[in-house]
Structure 1
Amino acid sequence: MIICIGREFGSGGHEIGRKVAEKLGLELYDRDLIDRAAEKIVAMPKDVLEKADEKKHNPWLHEVWYDVPNQELNGMTANEALHLAYNSIIRELAEKGDCVFVGRCADY
């Protein structure tokens, strides 16, 4: 069973996710996904990824990354790279077993 909880600021999504995971005995993934993404995207500093985390992409205010070790990320913004990393990480964790995801577009 994979439970995905979308949330917005002030919605209590993290607390709801924590209680659901606790009640059902499932793993909870929320803010720790940024750490996993930083491990996957070694070419971008974690603070850059944190600034892009769950923020709407602004085409006028972004930094494009070039000459990164992972050529798949070459020329992407931090938002784009983070989205790809979250997509991959969420799928990997979901395949491992039952869990609860909060935010990070897991419900998409």
Structure 2
Amino acid sequence: MQLIGCALGTAISLAHASVAIEADKITVNYGKKTIVASGSVTISAPDIQAQTPYIKYDYLADSVIFSGTSFIQYKENHLKGSDFMVKLKDNSVVSSEKSSITIQLD
């Protein structure tokens, strides 16, 4: 795992395997194997680009929980929603009772 760009007043970047995260604040919990990012968050993984105010990335399960209004581009398709999980290794979206998701297939 690599932590880049920790200068005050700039975004922080973190790369783990094939996932890159840039955010105002990033917290790594090595015991729980999670990364929490908040503020203006951008996450990139193979075939996926996303912007959101908050994520929790479980790097063992390779899944990301998105909170707040989130925008995801998967290949040519677009998804807008809140409170859902993306399983990166499966390229699947899992919703919860409080999820709201709109998908635009191109």
- Could you say whether these structures have the same fold, taking a TM-score greater than 0.5 normalized by the shorter chain as the test? no
Q: Which has the higher Rg, Structure 1 or Structure 2?
A: 1
| TM-score bracket for the superposition, by shorter chain length | under 0.3
Task: State the TM-score, normalized to the length of structure 1.
Answer: 0.23
TM-score by length of 2: 0.24
- Determine which structure has the larger strand proportion and give its number: 2
